């Protein structure tokens, strides 16, 4: 993040975020939030009153902005007042809304097959296979290096991903074969001077020493999805949702899936129970049971039969 021609207030906020080891993406988001607040005020945020904060939150609601984006903006503003300006009464004025719980969108096994079959290039097929076959996030896919592929143990090591956590995911024989094919075809013009283990698996063609961007990956995904005739509102992250759901359909232990996805809480992983169609369809509906010709009502047992006590 550049520090050229910035105000002392922003510089101090950047220093506070850096000292707390906030990621670059989080820092950009917080700075953007404070810039938006300043634009609303038409003056520096450090001059804001409690009423200004109230009016700004009302303004965000009136614009029809999603709850997720409203919470994200106010998180950045709260950091400014709570940490940088040390105005706790202002921070207390900021409220967050509970976000609606939505079920993850999942593709069927047939849709995944079609998606991978129409992948225009080997590069696209490898990228999408990593998302579905290993449950990786888009940011995790593009940041893979040679050193992360451990063929001896059949694992891929994900380093410092969301929440600054490491984890291991499976490396199937088919995935390893695809990666080896890609390594032979991979452009190597920017590899000079870089140790083999430190080379990006998917280097950028435009920026030396950098990997492709998640925007590039998203474009390749949507091109493949359109070619496969998938009409759902899918994204690269849908591959990760499909990975978890299809593992559940195969009776994979929920705790194992949690570790593969890198979720901190089991409750986060458990939401895939609601979309595991194989598990849901395997449950017999009471209506189907009643419709069977040989259906009989359960006989009363001595335990559930009402006891009639003789009168005295």
DSSP notation for the chain: ---TT--HHHHHHHHHHHHTT--HHHHHHHHHHHHHHHHHHTS-GGG--HHHHHHHHHHHHHTT--HHHHHHHHHHHHHIIIIIS--HHHHHT---PPPPP-PPP---HHHHHHHHHT-SSHHHHHHHHHHHHH---HHHHHT-BGGGEETTTTEEEE-S-TTS--EEEE--HHHHHHHHHHHHHS--TT-TTS-GGGSBSSB-SSSTT-BPPHHHHHHHHHHHHHHTT--S---HHHHHHHHHHHHHHTT--HHHHHHHHT-SSHHHHHGGGGT-HHHHHTSPPHHHHHHSTT--PPPP-TTTSPP-PPP-
Catalytic residues: 137, 162, 237, 240, 263, 272
């Amino acid at each position: 993040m550049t520090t050229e021609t910035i105000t002392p207030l922003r510089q101090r906020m950047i220093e506070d975020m850096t000292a707390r080891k906030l990621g670059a993406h989080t820092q950009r988001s917080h700075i953007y939030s404070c810039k938006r607040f300043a634009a609303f005020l038409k003056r520096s945020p450090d001059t804001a009153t409690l009423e200004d904060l109230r009016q700004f939150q009302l303004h965000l609601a009136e614009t029809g902005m999603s709850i997720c984006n409203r919470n994200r903006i106010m998180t950045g503003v709260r950091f400014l007042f709570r940490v940088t300006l040390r105005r706790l009464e202002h921070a207390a004025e900021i409220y967050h809304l509970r976000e609606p719980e939505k079920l993850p969108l999942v593709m069927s096994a047939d849709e995944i097959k079609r998606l991978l079959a129409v992948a225009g290039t080997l590069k696209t097929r490898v990228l999408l296979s990593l998302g579905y076959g290993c449950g990786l996030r888009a940011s995790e896919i593009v940041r893979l290096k040679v050193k992360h592929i451990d063929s001896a143990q059949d694992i891929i090591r994900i380093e410092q991903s969301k929440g600054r956590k490491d984890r291991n995911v499976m490396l199937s024989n088919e995935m390893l074969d695809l990666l080896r094919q890609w390594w032979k075809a991979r452009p190597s013009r920017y590899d000079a001077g870089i140790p083999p283990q430190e080379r990006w698996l998917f280097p950028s063609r435009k920026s030396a020493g950098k990997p492709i961007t998640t925007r590039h990956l998203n474009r390749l995904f949507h091109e493949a999805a359109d070619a496969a005739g998938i009409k759902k509102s899918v994204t690269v992250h849908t591959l990760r949702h499909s990975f978890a759901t299809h593992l559940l359909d195969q009776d994979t232990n929920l705790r194992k899936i949690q570790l593969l996805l890198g979720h901190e809480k089991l409750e986060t992983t458990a939401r895939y129970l609601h979309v595991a169609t194989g598990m849901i369809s395997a449950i017999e509906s009471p209506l189907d049971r009643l419709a069977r010709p040989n259906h009989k009502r359960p006989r009363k047992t001595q335990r559930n039969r009402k006891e009639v006590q003789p009168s005295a």
